Amino acid sequence: MKEKLQSLLRKPFAIPLALFLLVLLAYGILTPRMGFYWDDLPFAWFLKFFGPGEFIEAFKPFRPLLGYVFLVTTAIFGGNPIVWQILGLIARLTLGLQVWSLLRKVFPTRERSALWVALLFTVYPAYGQQWVAFTHVNQELIPLIFLLSSFIVTVNLLRHSNSVPPHNLANRRFALHLVLAIFLQILGLFSTEYFFGLEILRFFLILVILSESIADKKDLLKKSVLQWLPYLIVWIVNAVWTYAYHRSQAYNSYQISISSLLSPLALVNEFINTLSLSAFVSWLNTFNIFSSIDGSATQILAFCVLLLAGLTAYLIVDSQRNSESVMRKDPYASRITHYESATWMIFIGLASIFAGRLPSWAAGLPLKIEFDYDRFFISIMLGASLFIVGLADLILKEGRARLIILSLIVGMSAAYQFMVANTYRRDWANTQDFFWQMAWRMPALKEGTAVLTYELPIQYLSDYQLMSALNWMYAPNLDGREIPYALLYLKTRFEAFEIRPNEPVEITYRTVAFSGNTSNSVVIYKEADGCLRILDPVYNNAETVPGASFYLIEAIPLSNPDLILTDAPTPEMEKNLFGSEPAHGWCYTYAKAEIARQAGNWEEAARLYKEAQKAELSPALPVEYLPFIEAFARMGDMDTALKLTEWTIKGQPALCPALTTLWGRVSGDVLQAKSLLQKECKP
């Protein structure tokens, strides 16, 4: 049995299959329940309403050539979120295979080390945006595939052109391959600035290969530069073009700051921070997922991912022992020793880490292992993987300890990525739930309405991204570039002095614009466990949101519920985006009760609560009893109104002022209510 397994693991398909399994375990288990995140949502909206060609204009102020990548891919694959999640998995597998193919050609006697780098690169834990697939497949993964393809062609040229003088363009095969390598380099570098620094990696790969046959260091350096020269020219052109475009009036995004790169203190600080985060903290951070054992299904699944991924890495790498022995006997194999290859990997890894950090550092953007700054690790993860494997080769040599430790790191990284994937799954579920609650509570809105909130319990989408879904829902037949609705975070888009009536609200977002006024606003509020609430100066005033941000409190007087068209039918929701309508639970009841209260239909609000009781539904937050308390009080059912009041006070004493105001609106015999409030709401 063991021999059959070993034989199977040495088959040509074994390593691609192992990488596929690793990608599936780390990123693919929850694919059917993933959606759109960050810029995915507005990109899908642009595609739906304006077509693939819109990306060319939309990207002109940022990355003018990237729009053509989006044009091609969206024309082929459309805008279904599941399709893009699958494409993200394919792209990640492709990159892993490319790294393995590239490094085994550079270090032919270090097959297992090359494989380790590919495995670690595939599950590199600091990069946690695999699921922002629509954006990152186009913006980073495809350009990186192009650049690594260019490296592979360059390495193949060096390995298979021993009999051809360097740059002998009379040799047709050599010339064609050189042109192909440069073409792929252009595609990788000019479409995005993320991988600008990684071009230096090509020079070091050339240096390693030529060092096998050239002993003299001066001669080695000279010939390496000559081999790299065509690519260096393209790199310089790319640098000049990028800098010129970033300084031009056409550009409207992050500005490059060269002076910060030349400060000695800044260099030392950046060196320490980048090396620490990318080469050490990123791997060690994965162990935090099991720092406390809670027995949850997610943690149990993560543990299974750890075991399967770690075992896969262990078996597939262990099976490569014989292949390395064969390579060492090959007279054409690399003459680089174990120590030299380990040193090269460490050195190249360090150079690649800082080269990968260069673009984001030049833009003044911090490197953090948190959303959304973790996207900058995509250009660093190859260097970090090379560094850790080189370090393991140098310290642990070929012992069993290296096999176990690196397998554990692979397993932990895959489990960590699975845990991160689950946060994306929950966030998409929360996003869909938010929009369904909005559809129930606000069936339609008058055009020109700005929806204001402090922030929402949605991690991977911000206000401008959510604004695209808002218009998708309420303006399904949009025709033109003036969008009728806006969604704005008060803390992000306003200064405190701007939150006042009759102030213009002007927004330009890529190729569309919104023009409104603060007096035409609806202020919303949603806590993580609660239902969507429409705030207003009367029923849902500042007293109902104790402890809320100053920004939110200042905005409540602007909120005008009359902008909500409550008699309109529930909007038709795009199923691929919003999913199927969820079961009508408590938040559905609450939304309809709020509509009834807005219309003064207290009988309907009371009826809704009685139906909820029969269905054994109850609120997660005591504040959601308020419309029902008022409904029963106005209908004369004081017993129910007082009971709900008591529950509310016990659940959240900070709502006493709101309850006092509520009972002050109710006419009739409310002595019992006042007595209850005096008794329970002690200062």
What is the SS3 assignment for 254? coil
Task: With respect to residue 657, please indicate whether it lies within any of the assigned structural domains.
Answer: yes
- Under DSSP, the state recorded for 24 is I
- The segments of the chain whose pLDDT lies below 50 read 163-164, 169-170, 325-333
Cα distance between residue 223 and residue 91, in whole Å: 34
- Domain match, 404 and 541 both: no
What is the SS3 assignment for 407? helix
Give the domain CATH number at 669: 1.25.40
Task: With respect to residue 575, please indicate whether it lies within any of the assigned structural domains.
Answer: no
Tokens (6 digits) for 275: 């090396």
- Domain match, 395 and 505 both: no
Query: How many domains, the chain?
Result: 3
- Domain match, 239 and 107 both: yes
Question: Distances in Å between the alpha carbon of 596 and those of 588, 609, 641, 672?
Answer: 12, 12, 17, 26
Tokens (6 digits) for 570: 């529930």
- Domain match, 588 and 558 both: no
- Domain match, 509 and 541 both: yes
Q: Look at residues 424, 458, 484 and tell me which one is the last residue of a structural domain.
A: 424
The neighbouring-strand residues paired with 97 are none
Cα distance between residue 385 and residue 329, in whole Å: 28
First-last CA distance in the chain? 76
Q: Look at residues 533, 564, 595 and tell me which one is the last residue of a structural domain.
A: 564
Task: With respect to residue 284, please indicate whether it lies within any of the assigned structural domains.
Answer: no
- Domain match, 89 and 15 both: yes
What pLDDT does residue 522 have?
96
Q: Are strands 449-453 and 533-535 parallel, antiparallel or unpaired?
A: unpaired
Cα distance between residue 680 and residue 674, in whole Å: 10
pLDDT digits (tens, 9 = 90+) for 106-143: 999 889 999 999 999 999 999 999 999 999 999 999 99
Task: With respect to residue 346, please indicate whether it lies within any of the assigned structural domains.
Answer: yes
Cα distance between residue 98 and residue 124, in whole Å: 15
Q: Look at residues 518, 536, 564 and tell me which one is the last residue of a structural domain.
A: 564
- Domain match, 678 and 587 both: yes
pLDDT digits (tens, 9 = 90+) for 344-377: 999 999 999 999 999 988 888 899 999 989 999 9
Task: With respect to residue 5, please indicate whether it lies within any of the assigned structural domains.
Answer: no
Task: With respect to residue 320, please indicate whether it lies within any of the assigned structural domains.
Answer: no
- Domain match, 419 and 476 both: no
Can you give the residue range of the structural domain that contains 620?
583-683
- Domain match, 355 and 449 both: no
- Domain match, 539 and 405 both: no
What is the SS3 assignment for 338? helix
Size of the chain, expressed as the number of residues it contains: 683
Task: With respect to residue 287, please indicate whether it lies within any of the assigned structural domains.
Answer: no
Cα distance between residue 563 and residue 442, in whole Å: 9
- Domain match, 559 and 587 both: no
- Domain match, 541 and 683 both: no
Task: With respect to residue 437, please indicate whether it lies within any of the assigned structural domains.
Answer: no
Give residues with Cβ within 8 angstroms of 313, minimum separation 6.
18, 22, 119, 406, 407, 410, 411
What pLDDT does residue 326 have?
44
Give residues with Cβ within 8 angstroms of 333, minimum separation 6.
108, 109, 327
What is the SS3 assignment for 71? helix
